[in-house]
Amino acid sequence: MKNCCDHKLDQTQAGEVLANFGLNRTKTKISILVVLSHSKAPLSVVEIHKSLKNKCDISTIFRNMAQFKEKNMIHEVNLGEDFSRFELALNDRKNEAHHHHVRCRECSTISLIEKCDLDLFEKMISKLGFKEMEHSLEFTGICSKCS
């Protein structure tokens, strides 16, 4: 199962990504990108903070996530927990990145699902060994009043 980014970035590559998106190459931003690019599943801010061994303040991570999101470098993912998760979205231009997740309600293990078709979903998920499945399909958009 592929990583959402496909590339495990090293520090130099992370710096180039930042430059491409018009952001400064700070230590914290580089470290966050490296951590995200090595994760197979979306990470919470707390998880990123732990990965960085308290080398930076958690509020800085929140601020950087806001900047990354603004630049569409990451996706914010909500998996029914009481916090957000984030994953890199660097492949969005190629339209290769659209996917969804399965999370275990017991242990919170998260698996990726690459195909976006309901029939395929059901087959793939049962292959993954998940039971007692529940799903939520929610939309946001700009309504006629607001556009």
Give the per-residue contact string, 8-47, with its own copies (x = CB under 8 A; - = no): ----------------------------------------
Segment contacting its own copies (CB under 8 A): 2-10, 55-63, 65-73, 108-116?
108-116
| Residue 58 binding result from DNA, its own copies, none, given CB thresholds of 5 to 8 Å by partner type | DNA
Residue 111 DSSP SS3: strand
Shortest distance, CB of residue 80 to DNA, whole angstroms?
A: 12
Query: 21-39 burial string, b = 16+ CB within 10 Å, else e?
Result: eebeeeeebbbbbbbbbeb
Q: At what angle are helices 27-37 and 11-20 packed, to 10 degrees?
A: 110
Number of residues that bind DNA (CB under 7 A): 25
Task: Pull the structure tokens for residue 64.
Answer: 């950087």
